[in-house]
Each structure stands twice: as structure tokens, then as C-alpha cells.
Amino acid sequence: MVAKVIPVPAFDLVLFGATGDLAQRKIFPALFKRFVAGQMPQGSQIIGAARSNVTSEEFQQTVAKSLKEFLGKNVEKKDEFNQFIECIQYAAVDAFSDKGWDKLKSFVREDTVRAFYLSVAPSIFGEIAARLKKTGIATDESRIVVEKPFGTDLETAETLNAQLRASFEEKQIYRIDHYLGKETVQNLMALRFANALFEPLWNNKHIDHVQITVAEDIGVAGRGGYYDKSGAIRDMVQNHLMQLLCLTAMEPPSQFSSDAVRDEKLKVIRALKPVKEDNIVRGQYRASANDQSYIEHSENPNSRTDSYVAMKVDVANWRWAGTPFYLRTGKKLRERVSEIAVMFKNPPHSIFSDMEYHEGNALIIRLQPDEGITLWTTIKDPGPGGMRLKQVPLDMSFAETLEDETAVADAYERLIMDVIRGDQTLFMRGDEVEAAWAWIDPIILQWENSTARPAQYDAGGSGPEDALMLMHKDGRKWRPIGE
Ligand code: NAP
């Protein structure tokens, strides 16, 4: 099957932080894959920018090496490899100095879409944005893309927004949350709004609760110092989990346009009730036979930072009143799993009352691993053994179903192409990010004002016992992680 793609115009993509980890590990490989897919039109350029004083030729060799490292050695044998490398230029610029910006300006062309991707620390977003404007490299049509984290609280997010808006209009700003670039996330919208089947059931009358899980199997070794200032709530809940919650809970937008979708997501955030401390569980992983504990990784013996968090969230509106959303995310859990589980109520009356019949239907939207959707359905257990019921999965794995590598394309591929198309639907709007922080800040503050310690949990497990209790006290249970 040949993938149909919405074409993009020729572009100049200026990648700040081009020598950095994210650029080399994710962004260049994503661009190369789009190039191979024929989606980077002739005449497009990628212009790397960072302080390192290297020539374009030297920088091309750096990218070539990274592509081999992250996409496999055979990548070099592809016909497109050298053609792609030749599309790359490099300008040495420092966010804090005037040097190098003329050279950068000489690379960009009139009548070509200009996008500036800031894969750098947020502390220099403002400087770079201001220089792009001052030098005239940025035009009123240019786009600017910024990486996470977008602030560490409401105040810092407001400052970043003000810095960017001093040089760019909101319609030019693309705040990345790579979760929104996942195939399944967009499929959630297609599933809900392009089918008549689910939407009539998508409410508190039929859905008992929703579980959103983002579990990682790795710890924070090697970056414990950085992580310890952040923690799971800032690092994962404020952005990825809240975005998944919004897409699950939002009302149907009147059209699939960036502002219509983001207006509906914003309404969900504004409908979130404050979360009381007894509906939150924070945890830190213990040492295991072959690895150290969170405390050791963070090199902070007194750390109260959460490497795990679970919380019960209420969306206070007509659709969701009484149907809670349970969110959990953590490091060093059994497996790397991200999913949204929509747990339906049992039928109002069971004619099979004398039989084992406990589980309702569940719609599982898997983001990783193996993106896809599973609908757990109750059927008769086949065979002549009498009328017995059992739950079976109706499974749709995108990789299998669509038989096409674009089905599981990396989120960055999709998001960068959307920037070039000028489509902001899968990017966070400034007011949305601020509303998310306005809801999260009091949750962080109430923890900072307490003296409680995070619950300890075993590495390779499902999280702290207290998190199980969060569900049990409501007569519910978490779906197993990775079983
Ligand atoms: P990194 O490896 O430290 O790279 C930072 C880049 O910024 C380097 O290319 C550096 O190059 C450049 N730079 C630093 N100071 C500069 C200055 N004054 N002027 C111009 N360029 C400057 O960081 P990273 O891991 O790639 O992360 C980049 C951004 O993406 C951060 O905001 C991070 O939070 C975010 N992010 C990263 C990941 C990831 O997996 N790495 C994931 C999600 C989000 P020179 O030293 O040559 O100037």
C-alpha cells in the first residue's frame, strides 16, 4: 500500500541546537526518513546552528555518523543518503552574540517556508527569538518550534510565552509535545469523531472510569541531578498525560482545525477539579539486585522528588461528572507501556447472573509498544461445555493492519511536516500550557508544604502499594503493566 501524504512546500529548516542529543538522535533521523519517503521537496534545506565552530562539510559528517548510529549502518547504502546529507548546511551562532547571524541569514531564501526549530535549553528561547526578529531572518510568515519543557510552573511558562510573543505571533509558535505526534493519539480523534459507534457511549452513563498510564522501565541514572529538580508530575503529567486526558475527554470540535481542537482541549483543562493530597500517590524506586535506588541516582539523600505518581482526577462537566480519570506514570516499572484504557460499565442487568461475569468492556488505546487499539469484548467461551462467558481482545495493531512503515512513523516526522504545512493542531497553544500549569502548580505546592515522604516501590514492579489502594478504595483496579 502506498501511503498518501499531504505534500509540503520546499522549506528552509533552521535547527538550533543542531549538535545536541535530540537533534542528532531524533530530529535528523526523522528528517531523513521523510526525505526517503519523498516528502522533502527538491530545494529544501536544513541549516544546523549551534556554537561549535565547524564547517558545513564537517557538520554533514557528524550527521552522517549519527544517521548510521541511530538508523543502522545499512542506511548509508540507500540512494538517498548522500542526497540528504548535501541538503544540510551549518552556521556557527551563539544566542548571546551577534557573530554568525549574517552567515545564517545568507542561507535562508525568499519565497521558501522558513521554520526555526529551537532544540536548545528553554533559557535561551527568548534570546534566539529576539535575534531572529532583529536580524530580519524571521519574517511574519516564519514558524518557530520550541521543545519541552515549556516552563517549570505557571510563572516561568508565562515568561517564556511573553519572550516568544515579543518576536512571533501565536499563529507562528509551535510548542512540541511529541506524544501528540503519535499515530494512536491522532487515531483517538478519528476513532471518536469519524465513527458513529463510540461517541454515543463516550460519557459517564456508559464509562466507569478511564486509566491513563505512561510507564517507563528505565530509571534516571546519569541524569538524576536534572530529573530531581523536575519529578514525574512536571516531567510527564503536566504535558503528556494531560494532553492524553484532554483528547479523551474533550467535546467534539466543530471542525478538525487547530484552534477548534485546542479550544476544546482548553475547556477540559479548565474543568479539572483541584486534586486533594489523599487522591495522589508519589513514589520513588528502591534499589534492585542490579541497580541503585532513586535516591542514589539523584545523588540527593533527602530527595522527596517523585519518580512515580498516580492520581485520581475529576473532570467537572456534564459528560464526565462521576467518571474519574486515573493517571499514573513512573520510572523503573515492569515495562515501557503507554496507554489509555477506557473502562466501560457492566450491562445494567446481567441475564448471565449465575455465571462468572465481572469485567466490563474495555477499549485500550496503546501508544507504545506496538501502537494500536484493542477492544475487550465478552463472548461465549467456545465449545460444548455449556453457556460460559469469557473476555477476548479484538485487536488492531497498526503495524500489522496497515502494512506500511509510515503507520508507525516517528512522532517527530509527523510533527516537523505539520510545521512546514502550517498546521498547529498537534501543538500546544500558549493559553493551553498556562492553564495546565495553573492546575498543576497547587498540586506541587501542597506537596512542597507537606513533610510526607514518597512511598517506596520495587524496581521492575507496578509502582507503590499505595497506588493500588487509590483504586481499591473506589472498588477498582489498575490494568496490569506489561503482562
Ligand atoms: P543538548 O544535547 O545539551 O544540546 C543543546 C544544544 O544547544 C547543542 O547543540 C548546543 O550546541 C546548543 N547550544 C547551547 N548553548 C547555546 C547557545 N548559547 N547558542 C547557540 N546554541 C547553543 O540538549 P538536548 O538533549 O539536545 O535538548 C535540547 C532541548 O530539547 C532541551 O530543551 C531539552 O529539554 C529538549 N528535549 C530533549 C530531549 C532528549 O531526548 N534529548 C527530549 C525532549 C526534549 P553548542 O554547545 O555547540 O552550542
**For the segment 88-108, what is each residue's pLDDT rounded down to a tens digit?**
999 999 999 999 999 999 999
Whole-number pLDDT of residue 472: 96
Give the mean model confidence (pLDDT) for residues 418-441: 97
Instruction: Tell me the mean pLDDT in the region 230-236.
Output: 96
User: Does position 15 have pLDDT exceeding 60, yes or no?
Assistant: yes
- Which of 4-13, 175-184, 211-220 shows the lowest per-residue confidence on average (mean pLDDT)? 4-13
Taking residue 43's Cβ as centre, other Cβ atoms within 10 Å add up to 12
How far does residue 120's CA lie from ligand 1's centre (Å)? 4
Among 76-85, 122-131, 210-219, 354-363, the minimum mean pLDDT is found in 354-363
Tens digit of each residue's pLDDT (9 = 90 or more) over 358-403: 678 999 999 888 888 999 998 888 888 888 888 899 987 766 665 5
- The CB of 121 under 6 Å from ligand 1? The reply is yes
- How do residues 302-325 score in pLDDT, each as one tens digit? 999 999 999 999 999 999 999 999
Comparing 141-155, 163-177, 339-353, 388-402, which segment has the lowest mean pLDDT?
388-402
What's residue 461's pLDDT?
A: 95
Indicate the average pLDDT of the chain: 93
- CA-closest residue to ligand 1 atom 1: 20
Measure 121 CA to ligand 1 centroid, in angstroms.
6
pLDDT band, residue 2 (cuts 50/70/90) = very low
Q: How far apart are CA 376 and CA 396, in angstroms?
A: 11
Report pLDDT digits (tens) over 69-92. Answer: 999 888 888 889 999 999 999 999
Which conformational region is residue 111 in: left (phi greater than 0), alpha (psi within -120 to 50 degrees), or beta? left
Predicted confidence (pLDDT) per residue in 16-40, tens digit: 999 999 999 999 999 999 999 998 9
Q: Which of 150-159, 326-335, 338-347, 368-377 has the lowest mean pLDDT?
A: 368-377
Handedness of CA 219, 222, 228, 232 (dihedral sign): negative
Instruction: Give, in degrees to the nearest 5, the angle at Cα 260 between 204 and 423.
Output: 125
- Cα-to-centroid distance, 400 and ligand 1 (Å): 36
Does position 3 have pLDDT exceeding 60, yes or no?
no
The whole-number pLDDT of residue 404 equals: 53
Longest C-alpha distance within the chain, in Å?
81
Residue of the CA atom closest to atom 4 of ligand 1 = 20
Q: Is there an atom of ligand 1 within 6 Å of 29 CB?
A: no
% residues pLDDT > 90 (the chain): 81
**How far is the C-alpha of 268 from the C-alpha of 221, rounded, in Å?**
35
349 is catalytic: no
What angle in degrees, to the nearest 10, is found between the helix axes of 258-271 and 430-448? 20
Are 60 and 85 in contact by the 8 Å Cβ rule? The answer is yes
Q: How far apart are CA 103 and CA 332, in angstroms?
A: 46
216 lines ligand 1 (CB under 6 A): no
Residue 54 CB less than 6 A away from ligand 1: no
Q: Would the pLDDT of 8 be above 70?
A: yes
Distance in Å, CA 186 to ligand 1 centroid: 28
pLDDT of 278 strictly over 70: yes
How far is the CA of 471 from the CAs of 310, 345, 362, 468, in angstroms? 10, 16, 16, 5
* Model pTM above 0.75: yes
Q: What is the pLDDT of residue 483?
A: 66
Residue with the nearest Cα to atom 12 of ligand 1? Answer: 17
Q: Give the per-residue pLDDT at 356.
A: 58
The one catalytic residue in 178, 209, 240, 297 is 240
Q: Is the pLDDT of residue 196 over 60?
A: yes
Q: Which residue has the cell 519543557?
A: 149
pLDDT of residue 42: 87
pLDDT of residue 358: 63
Which domains, ranges and CATH numbers included, belong to the chain?
11-147 (3.40.50.720), 180-472 (3.30.360.10)
Question: How many degrees, rounded to 5, is the angle at CA 401 between CA 177 and CA 3?
Answer: 65
pLDDT at 407: 46
Ligand 1 nearest-atom number relative to CA 51:
48
Ligand 1 touching residue 215 (CB < 6 A): no
Q: Which residue, judged by its Cα, is nearest atom 21 of ligand 1?
A: 50
**Residue 350 has what pLDDT?**
81
Report whether residue 152 contacts ligand 1, using a CB cutoff of 6 Å. Answer: no
Any ligand 1 atom below 6 A from CB of 53: no
